[in-house]
Structure 1
Amino acid sequence: MPYDNSSRAAAAAATRTKVLAAARDAFLTQGYAATTIRGIAAAAGVSQETVYKRFGNKARLLKDAYDVAMAGDEDAAPVGARPEAVAVREATGPEEAVAAYAALCRGLTGRAGGLMRVVASARGGDPDLDAFVATVDAERLTGATLVAGLWAERGWLRPGLDAERARDVIWTLNSPDVWLLLTQRGWSPQDYESWIATGLRSMVLRSA
């Protein structure tokens, strides 16, 4: 009879969920510097060794918690495969693309905004955390490159704008640093979504 390891896999998944939930709560309430692996392990009801074996270090825990927040769940499907991102790719014209991309940005910041603040407040004090920030920025650049390339192929970019410059504008518009500045000024999620849409219309996409 073949060995059935489904119970072990389910237990591992449950442990991961508990640890990530405990980590997210700790980061949001205590900040990055004050959060410890010991505290996360205690809150999750597991050993420190378990946390280290599964996640490596505190920065990796933050990255994994951030990825779950961005996606909205722990499903393995990347953000790019989620309905919000699919809507951007399946847009049939510039205006539909604007609306879909602005809604995507609002959804991502709505789910991961709290952890974005944690990252911003702790940068420069931990090499592992700085590496995480660099990874996130690179992931955003990859996403912006794909979107700009798609819009260029469809002939939707503003006259005189190439895909490379469009990518840079999109990457700047969706920067967590920009979102943080705007929310510090009291902007609502709707304000942010509208601003993203306005920026895309005025700087990236031609009129429908």
Structure 2
Amino acid sequence: MNGPVKRRYDSSRRQEQARENRRRILGAAHELFVTKGYGRTTIADVAAEAGVAPETVYAAFKNKPALLRRTWDVTVGGDDEDVPLFDRPELRALFAEPDLRKRFTAFAVFNTATMRRTARLHLAVRGAAASDPAAAELLAEFERQRLVAMAGHARAAAETGQLAVAEDECRDVLWSTTDGTLWHQLVERREWTDERYAAWLGRLWVASFVVA
């Protein structure tokens, strides 16, 4: 006699639930880091906001610095796909644009959208860095990553033969104007629209960098 038929274990539902939990945790972490502050937010706070147990947060992200790091990565990329920013279609299209004026104008639009996602979180981490060593370490890492990224933009701009300034000057000005401070001051405090900000930033970069 044949024994009872065993069902093949299907893990797809559990995997999807785990992904959904991670998305909810990351969304909750972002909201709390921005509104409550990184230093004052606990794993228990994030769990309660996400509607999961604290153990679920620890199992997914281990600790608060790791949760902040992943929250930052997802915020910068705009999704939870493990695709480097420079490999994403939007940036690949930017680097493919041969006209440097058009490239910087398009980059200003791209950066404005990125600031819409990241500026508040960046400011929250910066505020926590003064008293939280983990936040300070992560902030320094974020800044190094952004400097490397802006160096890539400056190098690519120089390769067009249309760059009017030294490559390192282009890198440093790009780095200084893409940390979210300008966006926060003009859009959130002076109530510019994102469209106005992007147009202004594009004009600034073109006037500063492109051969007349």
The TM-score bracket by the shorter chain reads: 0.7 to 0.9
Residue 17 of structure 1 is aligned with which of 20, 23, 26? 23
When normalised by structure 2's length, the TM-score is 0.84
CA distance, structure 2, for counterparts of residue 199 and residue 191 of structure 1: 12
How much has 1:7 moved relative to structure 2?
A: 4.5
CA distance, structure 2, for counterparts of residue 123 and residue 62 of structure 1: 13
| Secondary structure in 2 matching 1:31 | coil
How much has 1:102 moved relative to structure 2?
A: 0.5
Q: What is the aligned partner in structure 2 of residue 41 from structure 1?
A: 47
How much has 1:109 moved relative to structure 2?
A: 0.7
Q: What is the aligned partner in structure 2 of residue 166 from structure 1?
A: 170
Q: Which has the larger radius of gyration?
A: 2
Any stretches of 5+ residues in structure 1 without a counterpart? none
Mapping of residues 115-130 of structure 1, within 5 Å = 115-130=121-136
| RMSD of aligned Cα (Å) | 2.3
1:147 aligned to 2:153? Answer: yes
Letter of the 1:78 counterpart:
P
CA distance, structure 1, for counterparts of residue 141 and residue 210 of structure 2: 27
How much has 1:104 moved relative to structure 2?
A: 1.1
Any stretches of 5+ residues in structure 2 without a counterpart? 1-7
1:203 aligned to 2:205? Answer: no
Q: What is the aligned partner in structure 2 of residue 186 from structure 1?
A: 191
Runs of 4+ in structure 1 deviating by more than 4 angstroms, as ranges, are 2-8
Task: Sort the Cα spacing of 1:43 and 1:71 in 2 relative to 1 into closer, same or farther, 3 A.
Answer: same
CA distance, structure 1, for counterparts of residue 90 and residue 61 of structure 2: 28
Letter of the 2:75 counterpart:
A
When normalised by structure 1's length, the TM-score is 0.86
Mapping of residues 22-171 of structure 1, within 5 Å = 22-158=28-164, 161-171=165-175
| Secondary structure in 1 matching 2:162 | coil
How much has 1:28 moved relative to structure 2?
A: 3.2
- Native 8 Å contact 2:105 2:206 kept in 1: no
| Secondary structure in 1 matching 2:21 | helix
CA distance, structure 2, for counterparts of residue 126 and residue 177 of structure 1: 21
Letter of the 2:177 counterpart:
L
Q: Percent identity?
A: 32
Letter of the 1:112 counterpart:
T
CA distance, structure 2, for counterparts of residue 116 and residue 155 of structure 1: 34
CA distance, structure 1, for counterparts of residue 66 and residue 190 of structure 2: 30
